[in-house]
C-alpha cells in the first residue's frame, strides 16, 4: 500500500465514523485491523488485549474494525491494508534485516504507525534498548526518540488526555520518533496493553499498579486515541481546533 492508497482508505473510515454508520464494505481492505508483530519471546503476552481494544473502538467510534488482530512477521508489514503495528514485550527483540527495515520504513512513511508497548518492570531495559536499535535501523538519520509533548495530536485525536496511562506507573510520558510533522512510532513505558488484557470470561488478568477502574478506562482512551491518530493524521491540529481544545482542557 502506498501513501495515496492509505490516505484514501483512512479517509473512508473516518467519514464512516463521523457519519455514525458503517459503509458497505468492499472486502478486508475496507476494515481496520491491528497488526501484532511476532518479535522476541514475549510478543504474545498481551494478545487478548487487542481483541478487547478492537471491541471498544467499534462500540465507541463506529470504525469498521476486525474483531481480532492479525499476527505478522516483520517481513509481512507491507502486505496488509491497515497499518497499525504493535510490538509488545519485556525482553530483547531482534534487530531487523536491511530488507525488513526498509519495508517497515516504507509503511511508516506511507501513513502507518508503530507502537512499542513495554511490559517490563522498573529496572529492566532490554526491551527499550532493542526498540531503540530497531528504530536506528529503520531511521538511521534520526537521533533517537523524543518525549511527546502534552499538546501533541495523539492526546487530542478522540479523547482529550492530559498524560499517558498504563497498568504500570513508570513514566508519565510517551516517547516517539517524529518525521516531519508526524510521529511515525510511539513508545509506551507503562504496559498499556496489560491494562486491557482480559480472559475469555472478561475478567481482567492484571491488577493496576495505581488506581483502579478509571485509570484502566484512561488506558483504553489512549489506545483509541492512537488508533484515531493513525486514521486522521493530525486533523485536530488544524487552526480551527486549538482554541476549542484549550477551553475543553480548562473545564
Q: For the chain, how long is the longest CA-to-CA vector?
A: 49
Q: Residue 85 has what pLDDT? A: 97
Query: 202 or 189: whose pLDDT is higher?
Result: 189
pTM, two decimals, is 0.83
pLDDT of 66 strictly over 70: yes
Query: Each residue of 123-155: pLDDT tens digit?
Result: 789 999 999 999 999 999 999 999 999 999 999
From CA 75, how far away is CA 145, in angstroms rounded? Answer: 23
CB 187 within 8 A of CB 131: yes
Q: Residue 20 has what pLDDT? A: 41
Confidence of residue 80 (pLDDT cuts 50, 70, 90): confident
For the chain, the straight-line distance linking the first and the last C-alpha, in angstroms and rounded, comes to 41
If you write DSSP's letter for every residue of 1-35 in order, what string do you get? --HHHHHHHHHHHHHHHHHTSPPPP-SGGGSB-EE
Q: Which residues contact 37 (CB under 8 A, 6 or more apart)?
A: 43, 72, 73, 74, 77, 85, 86, 87
Query: 193 or 234: whose pLDDT is higher?
Result: 193
- Ordered domains of the chain (ranges, CATH): 3-250 (3.40.50.12140)
CB 160 within 8 A of CB 249: yes
Q: Residue 176 has what pLDDT? A: 98
Q: Minimum mean pLDDT among 23-32, 69-78, 237-246: which range?
A: 237-246
- Chain-wide mean pLDDT for the chain? 84
Q: Residue 28 has what pLDDT? A: 52
Amino acid at each position: 500500500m502506498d501513501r495515496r492508497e492509505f490516505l484514501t482508505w483512512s479517509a473512508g473510515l473516518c467519514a464512516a465514523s463521523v457519519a455514525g454508520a458503517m459503509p458497505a464494505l468492499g472486502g478486508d481492505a475496507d476494515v481496520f485491523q491491528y497488526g501484532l508483530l511476532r518479535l522476541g519471546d514475549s510478543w504474545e503476552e498481551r494478545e487478548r488485549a487487542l481483541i478487547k481494544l478492537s471491541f471498544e473502538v467499534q462500540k465507541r467510534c463506529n470504525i469498521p474494525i476486525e474483531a481480532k488482530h492479525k499476527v505478522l512477521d516483520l517481513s509481512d508489514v507491507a502486505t496488509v491494508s491497515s497499518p497499525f503495528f504493535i510490538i509488545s514485550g519485556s525482553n530483547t527483540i531482534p534487530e531487523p534485516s536491511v530488507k525488513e527495515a526498509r519495508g517497515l520504513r516504507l509503511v511508516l512513511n506511507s501513513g502507518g504507525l508503530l507502537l512499542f508497548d513495554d511490559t517490563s518492570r522498573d529496572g529492566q531495559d532490554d526491551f527499550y534498548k532493542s526498540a531503540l536499535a530497531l528504530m536506528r535501523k529503520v531511521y538511521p538519520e534520526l537521533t533517537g526518540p523524543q518525549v511527546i509533548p502534552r499538546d501533541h495530536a495523539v492526546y487530542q485525536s478522540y479523547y482529550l488526555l492530559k498524560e499517558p496511562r498504563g497498568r504500570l506507573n513508570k513514566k508519565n510520558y510517551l516517547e516517539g520518533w517524529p518525521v516531519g510533522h508526524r510521529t511515525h512510532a510511539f513508545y509506551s513505558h507503562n504496559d498499556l496493553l496489560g491494562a486491557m488484557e482480559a480472559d475469555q470470561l472478561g475478567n481482567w488478568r492484571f491488577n493496576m499498579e495505581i488506581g483502579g477502574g478509571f485509570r484502566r478506562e484512561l488506558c483504553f482512551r489512549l489506545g483509541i486515541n492512537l488508533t484515531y491518530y493513525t486514521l486522521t493524521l493530525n486533523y485536530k491540529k488544524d487552526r480551527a481546533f486549538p482554541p476549542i481544545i484549550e477551553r475543553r482542557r480548562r473545564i
